[in-house]
Each structure stands twice: as structure tokens, then as C-alpha cells.
Amino acid sequence: GGRLFLLLLLSLEGMSYAFRPAAPVGKCVTASNRCLTHASKALPLGVPASSRRPTAVGLRMALGGRPVRRDRDISQFVTQRALQSLLGLMHMNRDQITADWLAEWNEHEGIERYHGLNGLQMDWRDYINDLLRAPGETLVVEFKRRGNSGHGGWSGNNPYLKDHVMEMETPINPRQLAERLMAVREEISREWIDMLPLLQKENEEVWRSWFEKVRSKDGATDSQANLQLPQLENFDPTHLQGSLFQGGDYDLIKTLATLCAFDRVKQSLETGSAGKPQAEFLERMLAVHGGEFEGDMQLGAANRFIEELLQQSPSVIGGAGYSSTTILDPVGITETIMEERVKVANEWVDELKGVPSDHADMMRTLLSEIY
């Protein structure tokens, strides 16, 4: 009832709201209550939350200016995407107050608009466990109905019409938010279990396109490209509905799997002297073309990186510093990376199947602490 009343208030012309910057006597004086110290304007009804301007922190995150974790952990990444999806769902349901609180919790402002791999700035277990144990809070929100300003049919400069300020307390239950986050995390995990096998078909499409270009007159035209559907178009999940950011999820897990496979192949080559030239080649390619993987990425980053690898010319490397002469085969190295990312995807499928058990263990530990 309270939230419905809030939406009705915000829908009135001339109405705005802000979190009160200071607590009056008798309010927000306990550890479990606080008043937010920033101002926030309500979105007009019908305007999507994505149209909001990113915060300064969100911009720094998007531009890669914030210290980031560089994880190749699928459990870490699925938690990030679950948090982003939960915030998106809150905005869709006009629960902006709770969404703002959750985004600011542990300094993740702007994460809902971030398309990248390193949005969650702490270990996923710590994030959920801390949220489960965080104390409840009450946000005091001020609503100002402008009277003497000509809004909503009121006449301007009328001395008898005064601005009306109303207050509403909005409770924040972190444990409930953590449970909602885990529910979204399980839903996305089930979807990814169905989605990850598509990487095998992605590899097949890469080779089809590459051979078409090799056979073309100019060596760069895929005459059949317009006849191909993206792999996600053929995706038919076993559950009824997809997650909020399904397309973005697929693009990012493909990129994450490619980078994980790249790291594994490079480390394997570095272990032997015969693989040193290939490892150095991969290091150079990452230095030149890997900047696209930092910060807020564009769609298709993994595909473009694979194409760059395939376009490199073979060469013979030898001389001082090398034990023998080596033929550098970029196409062969790329094939190894693509085969490895399918193995990575299969490992992730097994790991994601354990997500419900991870959540059950967390809740079991929490209950043992309470009781």
C-alpha cells in the first residue's frame, strides 16, 4: 500500500522527491535507520530507468578508470549479472529508492549500466554474505508538492498557495534483497547452462566465415554473411522466460570464455622453450588489441579479437634467444584457443549446476548463526 501511494504521489505534476540530507530530532537516530545524504529526482512515469544519466562513479566504471578485479571466475561473473538484472527489475517496477540503495551499497553505483567483465568489486561470496547480515535501514524520503509556482494548474505568484512537504519512510531489508539476488542468480545460472553449449556453434560459424573470406576474390568478403542468423536467435531455453539482459549475457560470457581460453593456452605455451615464440605472439596481440576488453565494452569484442588473430600472417622465428627455428602459425594458435573455450564452457556448465547448493550452504550457515 505504501509503495502504491508513493507511485501515485510521483505521478502528480509538479511533484518531486529527495532523500532528506539531515535527520530531524527523533528520526534516523539509531544504527538501523539513516537518511541518505544525496538528492535524487524521480523519473517521470513512462521514462525508462536506462535514460538516467550515469553517476560520476558509474562513468568511471564504464571508462575503466576505477580499479577493477580481473577474474575469470564464472561464479563471480554470474553474481555481477544477477545484481545488474535485479537493479534493472527494480527500475522497471518503479522501486527506484531501493535500487539506489542497493547500487550504492559497497560502492557499486552505475553497475546497472555497465557492459563489462569486472563490475563486482569484491568476492561474490563476501558480497552475498555481507548483504545477508547487513542491518535493516529506514530511508526518510521528502516529497515536495510545489504550490506557488504555477505547476499542475495552480496560478503563479499566489501568496495563499504554499509548497507542501510530505514525508514517507521506506524500509530497506538487506536480507530480503540478498534472497532476491540469489533467486535471480539461480535463474541466470539455469539459462547459462543452456546457453554455453552455443560456443561450439560459434566456433563453426567463425570457420565458415573465415573460409568464405579466404576463397573470395578480395580475401575479405563473406558472401554468405547476410544469410546467417546469430547463434542466440536459435536459442531455445528449457525454462519459460529469459532473463532481463539475455543478449548482453551471451556476448559477455563468450568474451569471458575466450579470455579464459587465451590465458590457458598462453600459460601452456610459456612452460616450454618451443612455445616461447607463440606465447610472445599472444602477448603482443593482447597488448595491441586487448584494450577493448577493459571497462565498458562494445558488443562483439570476442569475435573481433578472434578475427584479428586469424588475419595475422604466418612467420618463421629464430635466432638469438631461441633454442630453435619455429614456424609461427596464427591460425593454428587461434584454433587451439577456440577449442579451449569450448572446454571452458563445459566446465562452467558443471560449476553453474552447483549454484543452488552454494546458496543453500550460505543460508544454512546464516541460520546456524542466528539460532
Residue 35 has pLDDT above 90, yes or no: no
- pLDDT for the residue numbered 63: 37
DSSP secondary structure string, 5-22? HHHHHHHSTTEEEEE-SS
Between 287 and 23, whose confidence is greater? 287
DSSP H helices, 71-197, are 74-92, 96-104, 124-133, 174-195
Q: What is this structure's pTM? A: 0.76
Q: Determine the straight-line distance between the first and last CA of the chain, rounded to whole angstroms.
A: 32
Q: Answer yes or no: are the C-beta atoms of 158 and 135 closer than 8 Å.
A: no
Q: Answer yes or no: are the C-beta atoms of 247 and 232 closer than 8 Å.
A: yes
- The pLDDT tens digits of the residues spanning 235-249 come to 555 544 567 788 889
Mean pLDDT rounded to a whole number for the chain: 78
Neighbours of 341 (CB within 10 A): 28
Cell numbers that stand for 102 in this block? 542497493
Q: Report the range of poorest mean pLDDT among 111-125, 234-248, 295-309, 350-364.
A: 234-248
Residue 178: closest CA among 286, 102, 122: 102
Q: Answer yes or no: are the C-beta atoms of 77 and 117 closer than 8 Å.
A: yes
Total length of the chain: 371
- The pLDDT tens digits of the residues spanning 188-204 come to 999 999 999 999 999 99
pLDDT band at 154 (very low <50, low <70, confident <90, very high): low
Sign of CA dihedral 119, 121, 123, 124: negative
Give burial (CB, 10 Å; 0-12/13-18/19+) of 347.
middle
- The pLDDT tens digits of the residues spanning 116-152 come to 999 998 999 999 999 999 999 998 887 766 655 555 5
Neighbours of 31 (CB within 10 A): 8
Neighbours of 42 (CB within 10 A): 20
3-state secondary structure of 358: helix
Rounded-to-integer distance, Cα 23 and Cα 8, Å: 25
Rounded-to-integer distance, Cα 282 and Cα 268, Å: 12
Over residues 32-54, the mean pLDDT reads 32
- pLDDT for the residue numbered 30: 30
Cell numbers that stand for 235 in this block? 536459442
Sign of CA dihedral 248, 249, 250, 256: positive
Who's near 280: CB < 8 A, 6+ residues apart?
none
Over residues 340-368, the mean pLDDT reads 96
Q: Answer yes or no: are the C-beta atoms of 162 and 144 closer than 8 Å.
A: no
One-letter amino acid for residue 181 of the chain: L
| Helix or strand (DSSP H, E) at 142 | strand 137-145
Over residues 282-286, the mean pLDDT reads 94
- pLDDT for the residue numbered 265: 95
Residue 165 has pLDDT above 50, yes or no: yes
pLDDT band at 51 (very low <50, low <70, confident <90, very high): very low
- pLDDT for the residue numbered 153: 53
One-letter amino acid for residue 35 of the chain: C
- pLDDT for the residue numbered 117: 92
